[in-house]
Amino acid sequence: MEDIKTLIDKEIDNLKEDIIATTAQLIKIKSVEDKPQEGMPFGKGVNDALVFCEKLCQKLGFETKNFDGYALEARFGEQSEDVCVIGHLDVVPEGEGWNVPPYEGVIKDGKIYGRGAIDDKGPTVAALYGMYVVKKLAEEGKISLDRSLRFVFGTNEESGSKCLQYYFKRAEYPTVGFTPDADFPVIQGEKGFLVFELSKNIDGNFYLEGGERPNMVPDRCTFKGSFDIQRAKDIVSKKSLEGKTEIYEEDGMTVIKTKGISAHGSLPFKGENAISYMFDILQELYEKEDEFKRFIEFYNKHIGYDVFGKNLNIGFEDQKSGKLVLNAGMVRKVDDKIVLTINIRYPVDTKYEDIEREIKSVIEEYEIDYKLITDMPPLYFEKDHFLIKTLLDVYKEFTGDDSKPLVIGGGTYARWAKNVVAFGPNMPGDEEVAHQKDEYITIDRLLMCAKIYANAIYRLSKKD
């Protein structure tokens, strides 16, 4: 009889076209969070993706349950313990500068392009078909399972994971599992995830808006005001920011638009922050000595282009997880207030209270208010944990790679689901394309992930 790995690999190969087509179809659904509707807590696009997966799971023979539009559960087996895979269907906004349409599932040069291709639709499809293969082999009597199988589709991972919080108030935590939403070989830890707002009352007849999400490096920022256009151009030239800036007149006002490069909020050093470009320009352009001027001075002195929090006195780091990273993700003028939204990923041995204390000690001088939006404490598994060892073994069997388990700045569903860690899809040395323009997954990676995930699901289903 063929060994189990060979059986699984053959089944995945036979499903190649289905896996590719399903990924492309799912990418075509623009599942960016939108205004809630009845039964659609995160908007129609996200719900369309959930319904698509519900129909797919039913076609693949799973029992399904829709948790009020927050999450979808697919199950197989009656055992009391289970193996659970959790993927998310929501995506961040597409941003600007794409060379291919972000929601058409374009396939070319061995890649599938589109928002969500790598984060997290492609890996979710790969893991689902991997679980389906394990189910199929069990139904055919070719393998036996000691644990039942559960797949959970979430809908709000990119902006708070309210979906899983809702789901796990109504469902049991997994016995063991993973989320296909980070890196190989396996994630043993995740830095703390912090979002907060810094706001200040201001005067002034101007418009300021930049960024789309706290966890995206902003690739655009716009300032409109009454100031000399030539002076603005001279400042931009002096700072060598011509290629990053557009300046023009509109409706009697001068408009400055800065352009950055988007990146994942956990990797701000891989992007270019359009908000920081804007505040650099405003430092000289905005001459009025008022409260907004003080906020500009605060930004440039204590944030600026620093992505490790040193200028804000929060440059924490440890041996387990490295340095704190900071992303100034959004800025808005709202009525008579300026609001800056910041996303921080802090080391596993750092406490939130220490970060808050240091930030407040800096902003006090500028009469800036602090408001906590989200704090998710760090997650950490020891290297000899059963889950870490099992997933690491499966990865090594496929790749021969001896890379060690990782601690990442990205936050995944693992924080909200006990006994779960992040596992793939990115390999060491991969280009980082999540949250960036022209996001893609290679077809080879998609199929390899399906095989790795299927083998991991089977291995985790065995108690011995």
Decide if 90 is catalytic.
yes
- With a cut of 70, say whether residue 427 has pLDDT above it: yes
pLDDT digits (tens, 9 = 90+) for 27-50: 999 999 999 999 999 999 999 999
Q: Which fold has domain 4-191+379-460?
A: Aminopeptidase (3.40.630)
- With a cut of 50, say whether residue 67 has pLDDT above it: yes
Evaluate the CA torsion angle 339, 340, 343, 344 in order and state its sign.
negative
* pLDDT for the residue numbered 160: 84
DSSP H or E run through 55: helix 44-59
| Averaged pLDDT of the chain | 95
Q: Residue-wise over 126-152: b if at least 16 C-beta within 10 A, else e?
A: bbbbbbbbbbbbbeeeebebebbbbbb
Mean pLDDT of 187-202: 95
Q: Determine the CATH number of domain 193-376.
A: 3.30.70.360
Task: Judge whether 309 and 368 are in contact, CB under 8 Å.
Answer: no
Decide if 68 is catalytic.
no
Q: To the nearest whole percent, how much of the chain has pLDDT over 90?
A: 90
pLDDT digits (tens, 9 = 90+) for 243-301: 999 999 998 899 999 999 998 889 999 999 999 999 999 999 998 889 999 999 999 99
Mean pLDDT of 415-440: 93
Marked catalytic residue, from 157, 158, 181, 272: 157
pLDDT digits (tens, 9 = 90+) for 121-180: 999 999 999 999 999 999 999 999 999 999 999 999 998 899 999 999 999 999 999 999
Marked catalytic residue, from 11, 33, 90, 219: 90
pLDDT digits (tens, 9 = 90+) for 374-425: 998 999 999 999 999 999 999 999 999 999 999 988 789 998 899 999 999 9
pLDDT-derived band at 1, boundaries 50, 70, 90: very low
Where in the chain are the domains? Answer: 4-191+379-460, 193-376
- With a cut of 70, say whether residue 2 has pLDDT above it: no
- With a cut of 90, say whether residue 16 has pLDDT above it: yes
Nearest to 72 by CA among 91, 48, 92, 103: 48
The arrangement of strands across the sheet holding 176-179 comes to 63-67, 71-76, 148-154, 82-88, 176-179, 420-422
Mean pLDDT of 355-378: 96
pLDDT digits (tens, 9 = 90+) for 104-120: 999 999 999 999 999 99
- With a cut of 90, say whether residue 332 has pLDDT above it: yes
DSSP H or E run through 425: strand 425-426
pTM: 0.80
